[in-house]
Chains A and B, each alone.
Chain A
Amino acid sequence: MKPVFLTAKAVTLKNRIITNRAYPLSSFTERVVGSIFSIIFPVFIYYFIFNCHISESFTKHANTMDYLTYIVLGQSVNIIAVSTLMSVGRCMITEIREGTLDNFLLSPASRIGYFLGSYVEQFLRSMLEFSLVLLVGITLGARIPAEKVPIIALFIIFMSLVCFCMAILISTIMVFTKDTYITQNTFFLLIDFICGVLFPVECLPHWLQYISQLMPLTSALKAFRNCILGNQSLQDNWILLAYSSIISIVFLAIGYCYFRKFEKKLIENIYV
């Protein structure tokens, strides 16, 4: 346990110094501007085009008439996903590009500790982004009751861990394909499209609904909305939470096993 902790701590400190010195503003502003404008589009059409009239199918599938809160919750979770996938997913390929991977692989440092360190470093930043999006959402009309704050905090940690598991698989795909651009953007767009960020998953064709269930974020987001908008308890959503946890563990297991397997050939493959 101690090597995992030591590696995680060292990586957290290293990444914090890099972010503060090299990219103090650009990565943060890019994500925040992106997320705020993602809220602005649905909010805009809600107020200015449809005069706050939502469809019956939305009410039926989302179990709520509060469209704004529905969107704001979706986008705030989306920003956690983007932040975690960007930081943890790209960490290993960044080492390759900066030429420091050889040193890392030669050292006895814990691999999972490395990923955990990257995760912890970006967690506080993603919380800041999450709070900002939530604040903008509330200003635009979303209703987040004060008594729901503890449950929101619990869900943030859960969602963040779900995204961490997804990020391990994505990191392995990036290392395998030696690409970040295509992999990360395709995942971001897929999350937007099939995880129910902007509209209920039930609006999609049936075959896409099945695919959306393969993403752990879909059921986690549904449980989150049920608890905040539907006044349900965590116990009422235990099936969704358990399902999301199982899929996340599968993502983590596949990603980590393939990384360990691929690691043996990694150095030779970098220069191919």
Chain B
Amino acid sequence: MRNCLIICSAEVKKAHRNYFKSISNYFSLLLWPILSFFTTYYTYSSFDNYFDPDLANKTNFFTFLILGCLGHNCFWAMVQGGVMQIREERRNGALEIIYFSPANRLALLYGRALGDFIQNTWMFFIFSSIIVMLISKFTYIILFKIIGSFMVLLLTSTIWGGLINSICIATRDAGFLFTIGEPMNFFSAVKFPLKNLPFWARAISPIFPSTYCIYIIRAIFMGNSVNTIKILELLTCLSIIVAITYILTKITEIHNRKTGNLQFY
């Protein structure tokens, strides 16, 4: 356990040192979500009225969209961070050196995901501040809501990031993962309420843990009750993801020991 914690903390430190001061963070975590948010906001301007009585006022609508963008961005950052970072490490040989070490593989994968998530933390606080300003009354309840949402995002994004990292290690052509951005955005109901998804789409949306995560943080901030079934579904989804990550990591390592090609790209 202690070893796993050391590995996780090393990965978090590495991510912080490598990327925290990087200008790309300011674009990918701040400017792009803002542009994407306003594109969605103005897309709605082509229609009459707000679509949901709960979102009838502008403040609620803004909060609703911001929370969707925030949740999606955390999950999307895992995909971008995972693919780019592992591609780079594969090229410069660092990945092979890491795999020579006796470090616990799952701790490595989750440590990386956690490191990527922590890079998103400052963005989370900016978004939370905007929401607080929109609601315009700072109370202790809001503080608990922020902490609660942060914990939900931390858990789900890290587990999702672990799966993405394991796929990136399994294949050097992990660029196909960028294809899931738009489907994830749609099926997770980032830009509209989950209940409006048609039946066939609701059957696909449980594949993405972001669906539950966005649903829960919206419920926490917007004062709706959280459906217990949704929490159970989230926990089931996360357990399946952990199991897939574990199996994929084992298969990849056995394969790479035979073929010895972690380094080549």
Contacts and interface: CB of A to CB of B under 8 A. Distances in A.
A249 B237 CA distance: 53
Contact of B35 (A44, A46, A193): A193
Contacts of A55: 45-48
Given A26-B175, A53-B47, A186-B27, A40 B186 contact: yes
A30 B183 CA distance: 11
Interface stretch (A88-96, A150-158, A164-172, A197-205): A197-205
Contacts of A49: 47, 51, 192, 196
Contact of A26 (B24, B36, B176): B176
Chain B binding surface SS class? helix
B46 A67 contact: yes
B48 A53 contact: yes
A200 B176 CA distance: 32
Interface in A197-232: 198-200, 203-204
B210 interface: no
B28 to A, nearest CB: 8
Contacts of B36: 189, 192
Interface string B1-44: 00000000000000000000001100110011001101100111
Chain A binding surface SS class? helix
B51 A29 contact: no
B138 to A, nearest CB: 29
A193 B24 CA distance: 20
A238 interface: no
Interface of A: 26, 29-30, 33-34, 36-38, 40-42, 44-46, 48-50, 53-58, 62, 67, 179, 181-182, 185-186, 189-190, 192-193, 198-200, 203-204
17 contacts: A26-B176, A30-B179, A33-B183, A41-B43, A41-B185, A45-B191, A49-B47, A49-B192, A55-B48, A56-B48, A185-B32, A189-B36, A189-B39, A193-B38, A193-B39, A200-B46, A203-B45
Q: List 5 A-B pairs, minimum CB-CB distance, nearest first.
A: A37-B182, A58-B46, A189-B35, A49-B51, A50-B47
